[in-house]
A and B are shown apart, each in its own frame.
Chain A
Amino acid sequence: MVKVIKNKRRVPKSMPSFFKDRKPKKNRQQADENPSIDCPIEQIQVSLSGNLNNIKQKTGNSSDVVIREIKMGRNSDIKTAIVYVDGIVDNQSIQEYLLQSMMKDDHKEEINQHNALDLLSEDMMTIGNISSITNLDDLFASLMAGDTLILIDGVDRALSASTKGGEKRSIAESTTQMVVRGPKGAFTESLGTNTAMIRRIIKTPDLWMESLKVGRVTKTDVTLMYIHGVANDKVIKEIRQRLHRIDIDSILESGYIEQLIEDQTFTPFPTIYNTERPDVVAGNLLEGRIAIFVDGTPFVLIAPALFMQFFQSAEDYYARFDIATSIRLLRILMFMISLIAPATYVAVTTFHQEMVPTTLIVAIAAQREAVPFPAFVEALLMELTFEILREAGIRLPKAIGSAVSIVGALVIGQAAVQASIVSPAMVIIVSITAIASFATPSFDMAISARLIRFLFMIGAATFGFYGIILCLLMMVVHLCSLRSFGVPYMAPFAPFIPVNNGDTIIRLPWWTLRQRPRLITANTVREGSNQNPHPPASRGMVNRDFEEGDNNEA
């Protein structure tokens, strides 16, 4: 097909380029298109040896491609071969079910070239999942996925038996999202295990799954999961569309997919949530969201995501409402502190010294007499040092970890203060900021806070509190303009949906949260009415004539 190049210029050259539409990009030849799409589809050859040679050539005689030739039929004249890749197949099922059923069976007499495949697939095979393949692409795809191929001389089709297996990690406790109360198992790298864990939690047939393969070379399995009737059809369609549009050679982790389908790249805030825990995924599916599983990583994507989600942890829902509310409020407070604490300190000591009580300002002035740098440089130095410490701490083996923390505390804290490089107040502020930044449950949001903090510091250093407020305004406007798959990012604060606000920075008791989030789901009724507890004994005074019961407990 010939591609038509349209000329995009609509305005004359004389107008200032400010108002012109974007200049048309030079038309690059689409040279990097995948040639295999235009080539004709290759078929499996009839001759067995031809097919085997083809396989050996395509896989470059890799040592883990096992080809076992068998003779079947009355006179052992039908040559068959099974091909599999050692390591990604379940050896036991090949030996016990495949080979056994092929070699030790009673239909030996009736087999001939014409009905071989049908007989094999319908009468003899004791493996669960069998399908028939006609072209070479599917052949290699299923071979590389861990299926065993059964080729018969003289037939131009092949059978592919599902024997996926191999060494997998067992279900262990989550290392990044720990809870005190709640299920402890986390996802593993195997897609089948992960989806099975969700099936065990949500046992309704409305839980639908769609699979596709993304990535030209890695051909990674990606599964979309949602609850039909609760999830929004438009969002499902949008996600499906975006996934199909992905044209990249490899998908190594769900992060690749996240970055390829997200709404807006130039924003520090994440618009897709990821988690390692099955109960979190199940909870989100029940609210109408869609989960994207990627084979090879335990991190599952959840879309659409809202700002408040990144401050909620699974434990909030299992605890009672008073402690859950207080902890959520505390988290929001800590997030705000981690954003603006160093900036506020810089602004107050450089521009607005009148705000501080006199005794405190005298104490801070005494400390700063000895320090050579202005407050902003000091803050920057300390923050950078802390970021370096944090990065270094991730890669250290556990044995040295404690030594580094002692070194860090001693060197930075004590010695730097005494060497008059930084002032003690600055050390306190930076430590409080660092601790506060660990309180955010979602790692992605904590990272964005780390970056934005520097912006606030620069704003504070140039214009004091005015700078901080302007940065804050810009952040608020930016947050309000974000959308995650069509849903406004700041819902349910803005647009204000009163009934959904019981689950944001506070968490009202479960019997009040009767509706699902309105903008995400299609079916908003979650609970029946009148769910509040009705204990049998009354809490007030009991009138003798009206109430039953013999309150004789003393």
Chain B
Amino acid sequence: MEKAKISASQLFILMVLFELGSALLVPLAIDAKQDAWLAILLGMVFSFVLLLVYHRLYTYYPDLLPTEYLQRILGKVLGSVLAFVYILYFMYDASRVLRDFGEMLLTFAYPDTPLFIANALLMLVIVYTVRKGIEVIARSGELLFIFMYILAVAGFILIVSSGLIEIKNLQPILEEGLFPVLKVVFTQTLYFPFTEVIVFTMIFPYLNNPKKAKVTMLCASGLSGINLIITMLINVSVLGVDLTARSQYPLLSTIESIQVANFLERLDVFFMLALIITIFFKICVLFYAAVVGTASLFKVKSPSRLSYPFGLIILFLSITIASNLQEHNHEGLKVAMFVIHIPLLAIVPPLLLLVAFFKNRKKHGRNKFN
């Protein structure tokens, strides 16, 4: 574990940037058609339950990294194996996000560049950042957060002043009833992006004021959820449901439609800028969690040096996980969701909480008799 401390506001900013990450990019919950915003809202609310589970696990062992307290809860062998599985999950997630980003860049801005180069460049900057530790990541986050919000507000004002928003596109509400919405919530939105926050259990031990963790976490989830809802609302009202469902990157198409005062057009480069910032932080946090976890699991003395080989691994993984964009999307939505996300995010932590609860009750019981 690093000898570093971050404050609650820095944690808040990191979490918001993390959750906005690649969720701004993709058509989130569009299977629910016009009610995508409702699906996101419900996903956010239900995810609070799981977030509270993660927080409770943290309060049982406030100074330990999850890789360490997993060993305490489940015993040395099983705990290390599970910790290792989580580390692999973080690396896989990081490579997925990197792939998403590279594909986006290639699709609309740099069609002739090889994917490897686009990914490698971002990976260079990320490795440089992760080497410096969590404090630097948090501080850069504070600086870039303000920048990103200025861009977001400017974009919103431009969209409104272009007269593009048509609220009629959002009607009829709940055309097919509540069931399709709930289906989307429980198979997609609950996990991506809200409960990927499990990564932050690796960062909680660095908080300088542990009591603020719960409020910070819930507020950050709430704020990013609201942002995502607004984004999806704007997307659907500007583009219409069919076009949003057909687009790979609906926010990009929305920003392309901005036409103000006859000279502000085609501002998608600013969209790219905002996205690079959020994706950068998402990959940084995941990468950092993997590095720190490995360092604590295998007792490596200088975790900074680990970041080079891990960077290479994530880079190559991002190239090899899928051979084209459609396979990548299919894998993410249908395969990885059921095999990886649901077990690791929704099933395992509550079980862990149960075991930890019993273990700690016994400990308290024993202390009473002493």
A residues engaging B (CB < 8 A)?
18-19, 351-352, 354-355, 357, 360, 463-467, 469-470, 473-474, 476-477, 480-481, 488, 490, 493-496
Contacts and interface: CB of A to CB of B under 8 A. Distances in A.
Interface stretch (B27-35, B121-129, B218-226, B289-297): B121-129
B262 interface: yes
A252 to B, nearest CB: 35
A513 B305 CA distance: 44
B276 to A, nearest CB: 5
Contact of B276 (A469, A480, A490): A469
B140 A477 contact: yes
Contacts of B121: 463, 466-467, 470
Nearest to B10: A495
Contacts of B339: none
Contacts of A351: 109-110
A393 B277 CA distance: 41
A481 B136 contact: yes
Nearest to B269: A465
Contact of A494 (B122, B142, B276, B305): B142
A354 B266 contact: yes
Given A480-B136, A493-B142, A466 B109 contact: yes
B139 A495 contact: yes
Interface string B126-157: 00110010001011111110000000000000
Interface centre among B121, B136, B280 (most CB of A within 10 A): B136
Contacts of A490: 139, 143
B105 interface: yes
A351 B111 CA distance: 11
Given A466-B118, A469-B276, A481-B132, A355 B142 contact: no
Interface in B261-281: 262-263, 265-267, 269, 272-273, 276-277, 280
A495 B144 CA distance: 12
A477 B142 contact: no
B162 interface: no
Contacts of A465: 109, 269, 272-273
Contacts of A464: 109-110
Contact of A477 (B10, B136, B267, B305): B136
B125 A474 contact: yes
B269 A355 contact: yes
Nearest to B146: A493
B9 interface: yes
B7 interface: yes
Nearest to B263: A357
Nearest to B302: A19
A467 B120 CA distance: 12
Contact of B140 (A466, A469, A470, A476): A476
Q: Which 10 A-B pairs have the closest CB atoms?
A: A494-B139, A480-B139, A494-B142, A357-B263, A481-B136, A354-B266, A480-B140, A481-B132, A477-B129, A477-B140
A496 B142 contact: yes
B139 A470 contact: no
Contacts, number: 84
Q: Determine chain A's interface SS by DSSP, over half rule.
A: helix
Contacts of B141: 494
B105 A470 contact: no
Contacts of B10: 495-496
Contacts of A481: 132, 136, 139
Contact of A357 (B144, B262, B277, B308): B262
A488 B139 contact: yes
Contacts of B138: 494-495
A352 B140 contact: no
Given A357-B265, A466-B105, A477 B132 contact: yes
25 contacts: A351-B110, A352-B109, A354-B266, A355-B265, A355-B267, A357-B263, A464-B110, A465-B109, A466-B110, A466-B118, A466-B121, A466-B272, A466-B276, A467-B121, A469-B276, A470-B121, A473-B129, A473-B276, A473-B280, A474-B128, A480-B136, A480-B139, A480-B140, A495-B7, A495-B142
Interface string B1-29: 00000010110000000000000000000
A494 B10 CA distance: 9
A519 B69 CA distance: 34
Interface in B83-107: 105
Contacts of A469: 272-273, 276
A354 B129 CA distance: 32
A335 to B, nearest CB: 15
Contacts of B276: 466, 469-470, 473
Given A357-B263, A470-B121, A493-B143, 16 more contacts: A19-B305, A352-B269, A355-B269, A357-B265, A360-B263, A464-B109, A465-B269, A466-B121, A466-B272, A470-B122, A470-B276, A473-B280, A477-B128, A477-B129, A494-B141, A496-B10
Contacts of B144: 473, 476
B266 A355 contact: yes
A422 B348 CA distance: 65
Contacts of A473: 125, 129, 140, 144, 276-277, 280
A496 B146 CA distance: 11
A360 B265 CA distance: 13
A477 B288 CA distance: 15
Contacts of A493: 142-143
A480 B265 contact: no
A253 to B, nearest CB: 32
